[in-house]
């Protein structure tokens, strides 16, 4: 699976959009970008994933650059409850591709009132 690079921490004001970047310059054509988050003392929570098109769900939006070498997770209106560690993961999403998801250090997002 391709390696990802994320900033160690970021701040965001409550009510503003939080934009979390992720670099994955060695991504392969069949690898998806996944985002998870982990709120303190809880298990990680799946947020969103995408291959090459931008994706949106009730939690967030995922913007993937045209060359797929980087992506941005957008929380449109951050709340204090969005304070968490956010993990960007790149992996093949197929039965033959393996089942391991390796979590890196992630980005610690602090949402401030």
The residues of the shown chain that bind other proteins, judged by CB under 8 A, are 32, 34, 36, 41-46, 49, 93-95, 99-106
Nearer to other proteins, 74 or 92 (CB): 92
> Minimal distance in Å, beta carbon 43 to other proteins?
3
Nearer to other proteins, 15 or 56 (CB): 56
Query: Which helix (DSSP H) or strand (DSSP E) does residue 31 occupy?
Result: strand 31-38
Nearer to other proteins, 53 or 113 (CB): 53
């Amino acid at each position: 699976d391709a390696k990802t690079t994320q900033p160690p921490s970021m701040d965001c004001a409550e009510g503003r959009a939080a934009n979390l970047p992720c670099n994955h310059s060695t991504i392969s054509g069949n690898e998806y970008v996944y985002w998870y988050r982990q709120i303190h003392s809880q298990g990680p929570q799946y947020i969103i994933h995408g291959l090459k098109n931008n994706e949106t769900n009730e939690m967030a939006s995922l913007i993937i650059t045209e060359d797929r070498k980087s992506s941005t997770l957008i929380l449109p209106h951050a709340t204090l409850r969005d304070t968490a560690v956010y993990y960007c993961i790149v992996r093949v999403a197929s039965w033959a591709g393996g089942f391991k998801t390796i979590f890196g250090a992630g980005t610690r997002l602090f949402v401030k009132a």
